[in-house]
Structure 1
Amino acid sequence: MPTHTENASFTDAWKEWHAAHERHRADPHGFLAVTHLHWLGGSATRLEGAPGTWSVDNDVVRVVLEPGETLQREGQELNGEDGASLVLGPIAERGGINLRSGDSVIELAKRGGEYIVRPRHPRNALLADYTGTPAYQPDPSYAVTGTFVPFPEPRPTTVGAAVEGIQHVYEAPGEIRFSLAGEDLTLTAFNGHAPGTLSVLFTDATSGKTTYAANRSLAVGQPGPDGTVLLDFNRAVNLPCAYTDLATCPLPPAENRLAVAIEAGEQTPFERSGTRELGASELQGASELQGAK
């Protein structure tokens, strides 16, 4: 049984982590700043929120800028001369590059084998009105030890996406076995962002009730020599699709849809639950409507 001091320390560490995660989410050019989602094709097309005309062919993206239009990559101007195309790519699946255009960042990425362009602007209403994400109070009982069991060979795993028409393929190095709420459970694990780490996508009995219906994600540290890992579900987070329809987030594999209720981690965002506090722009609009009556 954890002592009061241990519980207080656990709570303080969670609060510090959660505050840092919220700061990252509210980055001026983070996913809350995305204003549009454009799918590139073979015909040169002007995209709302981005300069130039864009097209893709044989894994190569071409951008033609009009006089006075510019793009920057890592501080370097990419201006085309005399209508010449800027050539970008190829880009690896789930990879991307960021280009600057004035106050905006233009994300060029590859998702589900297709190229997308997502302008990101720091004054996007979703970001400007963001008030934070609700979460369960931290509970040490939802921080459990598990065992990572590697597959004989990494297993390509195809999953659906938050948008129709594409699929994601992830390499699953193994599965994590653990016990929670008196049940023995298993989650297929994908490779994490840092080498040696893992990531799991899952739903549970709270999904669609108190937590976002489609998915949540949990980062897992590098397994110990005996395969031991820590699953701290208090740090389960929402993916971008929980906030915006302009995201292409993966869905969990079927085996990661748990029947138990994991009442820990982030809950359904106010933006999706219908209980979001009014942001500054909406308050102004409401005031103008009231005055017009």
Structure 2
Amino acid sequence: MTVVETDTFAQQWERWHAEHERVRADPHGFLAITGLHWLTGEPQRFPDAPGEWWTGDGGPVVRLADGEELVVDGAPVRGEHAFGVIPERGGVTVGSGEAVIEVARRGGSDVVRPRHPDNPVLQGHLGTPAYPADPRWTVTGRYLPFDEPRPTTVGAVVEGLQHVYDAPGRIEFELDGQSLSLTAFNGATAGSLFVLFTDETSGVTTYAANRSLKVDPPDAEGTVVLDFNRATNLPCAYTEFATCPLPPEGNHLPIAVEAGEKKPVG
């Protein structure tokens, strides 16, 4: 690769990383979360959200006291409001002054996660260090779909919590002279994939629990590109109020992937 091509590669990565950090520092993003509240059948009041909250067969409910309100779908809500059944890994976000309240379902339980722009975690965020972009960490792999998607149970950073994802296949590739593979999950857009992994840098220079890598849809021959320069931290690397999944069994790479994001500063 020529110097010009390397510079272009590095510049593209710099733009991508800057945008990723900008989104991460959104005033209502994960860095703004001030609490992770697990709902039960008993009404509870939390210090960082208005109202009393509980859940049941019909989903989460909030009862707002006089002078309290939420903004749901752009309209003010007072008194009692039922959110209905929320699907697993789904959620809704409602307004509360300068804050927003996430009402979601994780690991079979309903949760409330307030997000305040003045949260010290967000205000004190100093950015995420990363390895310098290097084309050697961009590798071509082969996607091998399973005959049927395999329900795959993985742990979570929250003790006792489990997530179940449908794994549509695995990705095989070579790196540092080794034949490697990773179980893949469905990505956020049609046909795309993502992988959760650890490697020999995990807990040393990179976050110990996991890193994530998005993969564009395979081509007609099943070819995919894994650009480990774009391996990112999940929210759990920054806040104790995340419920991030851990990598599935077998997704530890026995090499030091010195690419992508490192441990967050602070």
Superposition TM-score, scaled by structure 2 size = 0.99
CA distance in 1, matches of 2:181, 2:255: 12
CA distance in 1, matches of 2:174, 2:49: 49
CA distance in 1, matches of 2:87, 2:96: 23
Per the alignment, residue 146 of structure 2 pairs with 151
Letter in 2 for 1:111: R
Q: Greater helix share, 1 or 2?
A: 1
Which of the pair has more CA radius of gyration?
Answer: 1
Does residue 101 (structure 1) correspond to residue 92 (structure 2)? The answer is no
Q: 2:263 aligns with which of 243, 259, 268?
A: 268
- Residue 258 of structure 1 deviates from its aligned partner by 1.2
Does residue 4 (structure 1) correspond to residue 3 (structure 2)? The answer is yes
SS at match of 1:149: strand
Superposition TM-score, scaled by structure 1 size = 0.90
Q: 2:106 aligns with which of 108, 111, 114?
A: 111
SS at match of 1:150: strand
Per the alignment, residue 171 of structure 2 pairs with 176
Percentage identity across paired residues of the two chains: 58
CA distance in 1, matches of 2:223, 2:69: 51
CA distance in 2, matches of 1:74, 1:17: 32
SS at match of 1:41: coil
- CA shift in 2, pair 1:59/1:199, >3 Å: farther
- Residue 240 of structure 1 deviates from its aligned partner by 0.6
CA distance in 2, matches of 1:141, 1:73: 48
- Residue 59 of structure 1 deviates from its aligned partner by 4.3
Does residue 197 (structure 1) correspond to residue 157 (structure 2)? The answer is no
CA distance in 2, matches of 1:162, 1:255: 18
- CA shift in 2, pair 1:136/1:179, >3 Å: same
- Residue 48 of structure 1 deviates from its aligned partner by 1.7
Give the ranges of 4+ consecutive aligned residues of structure 1 lying more than 2 Å apart after TM superposition: none
CA distance in 1, matches of 2:69, 2:77: 7
CA distance in 2, matches of 1:145, 1:8: 21
Which aligned pairs between 1:120-135 and structure 2 lie closer than 5 A?
120-135=115-130
1:197-256 Cα distance to aligned partner (Å, 9 max, x none): 000000000000000000000000011000011100000000011011111000001110
Which aligned pairs between 1:1-293 and structure 2 lie closer than 5 A?
2-80=1-79, 85-271=80-266
1:153-175 Cα distance to aligned partner (Å, 9 max, x none): 00000000001121000010000
Q: Which runs of 5+ in 2 are unaligned?
A: none
CA distance in 1, matches of 2:48, 2:76: 19
CA distance in 2, matches of 1:59, 1:147: 44
CA distance in 2, matches of 1:6, 1:179: 23
- Residue 70 of structure 1 deviates from its aligned partner by 0.5
1:106-160 Cα distance to aligned partner (Å, 9 max, x none): 0001000011101000000010011100000000000000011000000000000
Q: Which runs of 5+ in 1 are unaligned?
A: 272-293
- Residue 76 of structure 1 deviates from its aligned partner by 1.3
- Residue 33 of structure 1 deviates from its aligned partner by 0.2
